[in-house]
Amino acid sequence: MAGSNEINANEAKKVVPLHTWILISNFKLAYNMLRRPDGTFNRELAEFLDRKVVANTVPVDGVYSFDVVDRTTSLLNRIYRCTSPENDSGHHSGAGVIELENPLSTTRIVPVIIFFHGGSFTHSSANSAIYDTFCRRLAALVEGVVVSVNYRRSPEHRYPCAYEDGWEALKWVHSRSWLSSGKDSKVHVYLAGDSSGGNIAHHVAHRAAVSGIEVLGNILLHPLFGGENRTESEKNLDGKYFVKLQDRDWYWRAFLPEGEDRDHPACNIFGPRGADLVGVNFPKSLVVVAGLDLVQDWQLAYVEGLKKAGQEVKLLFLKKATIGFYFLPNNEHFYTLMEEMKNFVNPSSSSSPPPPP
């Protein structure tokens, strides 16, 4: 109905800056063309339309990047590092020879954030321009390393492929001596992700916790969770700020095993089939919820679920933020988020209890 779409477009325009509206609307319309009603996905056109960037060993604004392919899994990780006297050992003038002999630092702790990009399990890659830009900012912000994982996507690769790839990446990161730091010479790992990436981060963290592999913290940026029930936020915000509920349903159908519903534990963490996290050595979490995201009730339920299980969690609720607010540095939510992430990862603040939300 043209009328209600007019209203919706105008609503969205009121709350996001022009650039953001253009960027997210562009994705929305392109993605509409890529999802087929029969559940298949036009991967060719998707790859054609996706703007990608090459890694660059020449530092740009203090951050350089390079790709590593894990030979055993064929998985690609893009590594982002900051230049600084102590962790920039072998850099030839512009020629980009990567030194992988030394730890990041022998004195201070350098956080390594394993980042899972978003895209509802289906879109984007580690070398997508929007995520390359985001990871560069993140690396500079925490003065550490970001490892962006190019996990396998649905519908070609359903659950649990993305989680397997995340798990492999975690093990790979932990075993790189050149990612270790601090006097204890170990890799100080955080997990982070937006949208489906946030979902992946949760599941990898869970597996790490029960396997005894250390993860110092989780950062979930409007993580993708759901369930069979229709929540208030889903009903109220359906179609209003770039996202329709039926699109969300499409992506779950494409990701979950065929025949499964949205109460599958991958999707509905603390639902009827969810795992019990009581007593699990789960890392502390920073969960960022955008107040105009229709999925927020599930994200808030996730936060409650973590609390009930006695886990440490901080909720950052950004009332007027829409999805994707963190792609462009043109709004206050972006800067608030940056500040929170920086504090979360700062080793000196990790021992103090989180302030009340």
Partner 1 sequence: MGPHDSSISAAAGSTSSSSSSSACSSSTKPPQPPDQMDHLLAGAGYKVRSNDLHQVAERLHRLETVMVKSNPLEISDLVNDAVHYNPADLASWVDSLLTELNTNPPVPVPTDLSDPHPNMNNMMYATNHAPHLQQVVAQPFEEDVSIQLVHVLMTCAEAVQRGDLSLAGLLIDDLQALLGRVNSGCGIGKVGSFFVDALSRRIVNSPENAAVHSDLSAYENEILYHHYYEACPYLKFAHFTANQAILEAFEGQDCVHVIDFNLMQGLQWPALIQALALRPGGPPLLRLTGIGPPSPDGRDSLREIGLKLAELARSVNVRFAFRGVAASRLDDVKPWMLQVSPKEAIAVNSIMQLHRLLGPNSSRGPPIDLVLDWIRDLNPRILMVVEQESNHNQPEFLDRFTEALYYYSTMFDSLDVCTAQPEKALAELYIQREICNVVCCEGLVRVERHEPLVRWRERLINAGFAPLHLGSNAFKQARMLLTLFSAEGYSVEENEGCLTLGWHSRPLIAASAWQAIPKPSPTMGPIIHP
User: Which residues in the 22-51 window bind partner 1 by CB under 8 A?
Assistant: 22-23, 25-26, 28-29, 32-34, 36-37, 42, 44-45, 47-49, 51
For residue 61, state whether it binds partner 1 (rule: CB under 8 A).
Answer: yes
For residue 213, state whether it binds partner 1 (rule: CB under 8 A).
Answer: no
Cα→Cα distances 7→3, 30, 237, 248, 357, Å: 7, 21, 13, 21, 33
Sign of torsion over alpha carbons 69, 70, 74, 79 = negative
For residue 96, state whether it binds partner 1 (rule: CB under 8 A).
Answer: yes
Site string for partner 1, 250-279 (x = CB under 8 A): ------------------------------
Question: In the range 98-117, which residues lie near partner 1 by CB under 8 A?
Answer: 98-101
Determine the Cα–Cα distance for residues 346 and 251; give it in Å rounded to an integer: 35
User: What letter would DSSP give residue 52?
Assistant: B
- Is 148 a known active-site residue? no
The token duo for 204 is 């990898």
Q: Which residue is catalytic, options 65, 128, 180, 195?
A: 195
3 state DSSP class of 10: helix
Question: In the range 141-180, which residues lie near partner 1 by CB under 8 A?
Answer: 141, 150, 176, 178
Q: CB of residue 176 vs partner 1: minimum separation in angstroms?
A: 8
Q: For helices 196-211 and 161-174, what crossing angle results, to 10°?
A: 60
For residue 93, state whether it binds partner 1 (rule: CB under 8 A).
Answer: yes
Q: CB of residue 102 vs partner 1: minimum separation in angstroms?
A: 10
Question: In the range 298-327, which residues lie near partner 1 by CB under 8 A?
Answer: 320-321, 327
Question: For residues 1 and 259, which CB has a smaller minimum distance to partner 1 in the complex?
Answer: 1
Determine the Cα–Cα distance for residues 339 and 219; give it in Å rounded to an integer: 13
Do the Cβ atoms of 217 and 281 come closer than 8 Å? no
User: What letter would DSSP give residue 26?
Assistant: H
Catalytic center residues: 195, 293
